[in-house]
């Protein structure tokens, strides 16, 4: 997506020269005089007779986001009762990054470049054993995210699906996110068939 810069020019009651630059992804505010305007950037200008003041919003529409997925797989996770397992394969390259912007995707995990409040949605197709209860959750920096767990009991051995929607509050720069699964009923393994995982920042 091409970054958008919005420039507001307005006339105050007292004419004072001032330039302010606001960076979209970071929310940082600085003196526009110290910032180099990106070449070829779209600029929208609103003005009122005077250019003594201006505010720019750099990358105003360039919010951090990413999409990651795999399909038609049959990755079996060896499970122990109550133990969380990473949704990945032995080489940690199960997912394909379909799109990333201000996110780093590697090793079947997502690292946030910028903090803020995010939304995570994962649609998970998997197979299990009849009568088992499987839990799914998002983990941040190796620890489970509060209120992120969803559960499904398998009544048959065919492929089922769960949707894992999680609001990620107050994330920090460099936080690492992963998807995990566990069997709370027995040691029966789970087979991952396909997952579509989308993450985007709502606001700073």
Bridge partners, 154 (sequence order):
132
Residues 172 and 196 in one domain: yes
Q: What percent of the chain has pLDDT over 70?
A: 72
Residues 40 and 116 in one domain: no
- Summarised one tens digit per residue, pLDDT across range 51-68 is 555 556 566 666 899 999
Q: Which two tokens stand for residue 107?
A: 């090793």
Residues 110 and 149 in one domain: yes
Are the beta carbons of 39 and 175 closer than 8 angstroms? Answer: no
Residue 26 has pLDDT above 90, yes or no: no
Residues 21 and 97 in one domain: no
Residues 97 and 16 in one domain: no
Q: Which two tokens stand for residue 140?
A: 């941040």
Distances (CA, A) of 52 to 13, 22, 48, 201: 11, 17, 10, 34
What's the first-to-final CA gap in the chain, in angstroms?
19
- The pLDDT of residue 159: 87
Range of the domain at 94: 65-203
- How many structural domains are present in the chain? 2
- Summarised one tens digit per residue, pLDDT across range 85-133 is 999 999 999 999 998 999 999 999 999 999 999 999 999 999 988 888 9
Q: What is the mean pLDDT of residues 1-18?
A: 44
CB atoms within 10 A of CB 33: 9
Q: What is the mean pLDDT of residues 63-85?
A: 93
pTM value > 0.95? no
**CA atoms within 13 Å, Cβ hemisphere of 202:** 11
Phi, psi (rounded to 5 degrees) for 110: -120, 125
Residue 133 C-alpha from the chain's centroid = 27
Q: Is the dihedral of CA 59, 61, 65, 66 positive or negative?
A: negative
Residues 106 and 123 in one domain: yes
CATH number of the CATH domain containing 95: 2.60.120.40
Q: Which two tokens stand for residue 10?
A: 């307005």
């Amino acid at each position: 997506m091409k970054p958008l810069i919005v420039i507001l020019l307005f006339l105050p009651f007292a004419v004072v020269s001032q330039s302010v630059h606001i960076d979209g992804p970071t929310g940082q505010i600085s003196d526009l005089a110290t910032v180099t305007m990106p070449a070829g950037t779209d600029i929208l200008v609103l003005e009122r007779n005077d250019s003594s003041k201006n505010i720019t919003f750099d990358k105003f529409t360039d919010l951090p986001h990413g999409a990651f997925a795999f399909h038609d797989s049959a990755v079996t996770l060896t499970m122990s009762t109550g133990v969380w397992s990473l949704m990945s394969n032995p080489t940690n390259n199960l997912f394909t990054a379909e799109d990333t912007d201000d996110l780093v995707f590697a090793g079947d995990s997502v690292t946030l470049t910028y903090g803020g409040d995010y939304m995570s949605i994962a649609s998970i197709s998997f197979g299990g054993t009849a009568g088992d209860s499987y839990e799914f959750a998002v983990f941040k920096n190796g620890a489970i995210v509060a209120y992120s767990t969803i559960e499904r009991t398998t009544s048959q051995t065919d492929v089922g699906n769960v949707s894992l929607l999680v609001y990620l509050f107050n994330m920090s720069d460099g936080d690492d996110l992963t998807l995990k699964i566990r069997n709370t009923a027995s040691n029966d393994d789970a087979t991952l068939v396909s997952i579509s995982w989308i993450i985007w920042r709502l606001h700073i």
